Amino acid sequence: MTDKASTQDRAAFVARVGGIYEHSPWIAERAFDSGELPDFLGEKSRTAFGELRSNEEAKALATALATTLSAASVDEKLALIRAHPDLVGRAALAGELTEESTTEQSSAGLDQCTPEELERFQVANAAYRERFGFPFIMAVRGADRQTILNAFEQRLLNDEDTEFKTALVEIDRIALLRLEALVAE
């Protein structure tokens, strides 16, 4: 493959999956550069990348991306965690979320909070950030507001290391769900 073709393939890959991890296209870039992508993205098919044909392909790609993330530095992982918006936070209320985050928060009914629920989320977000120094992260697709609020309460009892690891697990789960959504498209 020529350098020009490789550059074009990389750009196409990053354009398609660079947003899977919130504001962190570096994960897709590194995964591509590592050469450790799933077989279905082998040299011959990379130029045609654009469609995931099955949930199995989505899972295989999610695993490759998660492996790339796991090799990142602690500072890079923390920056990724901090790139995520608060649930029902300022960005959501101002309509500034990514399309994916908007869809995910809406699927959990977070765009339909009562004033009391909104207050609970704001208090929970502030308490969580105060305790851990980063936003509460949860793959909320398929959850409801009460489940999410309960998770806030439970996870506020954790230590910082546990929450750091939990945030990364949730981020990888969000990435998988986002890739599976690409199959549905």
Tell me the catalytic residues: 84
User: Euclidean distance between the first and final Cα of the chain, in Å?
Assistant: 29
User: Distance between CA atoms of 18 and 27, rounded to whole angstroms?
Assistant: 7
Distance of CA 90 to CAs 9, 94, 127, 159, Å? 37, 6, 15, 26
DSSP H or E segment with residue 160: helix 160-184
Residue positions counted in the chain: 185
User: Distance between CA atoms of 7 and 165, rounded to whole angstroms?
Assistant: 34
Cβ–Cβ under 8 Å, residues 14 and 32:
yes
Q: What would the two tokens of residue 121 be?
A: 């989320």
User: Distance between CA atoms of 92 and 110, rounded to whole angstroms?
Assistant: 9
**Hey, which bits of 77-118 come out as E strands?**
none
What is the Cα 86 distance to its own chain's centre?
13
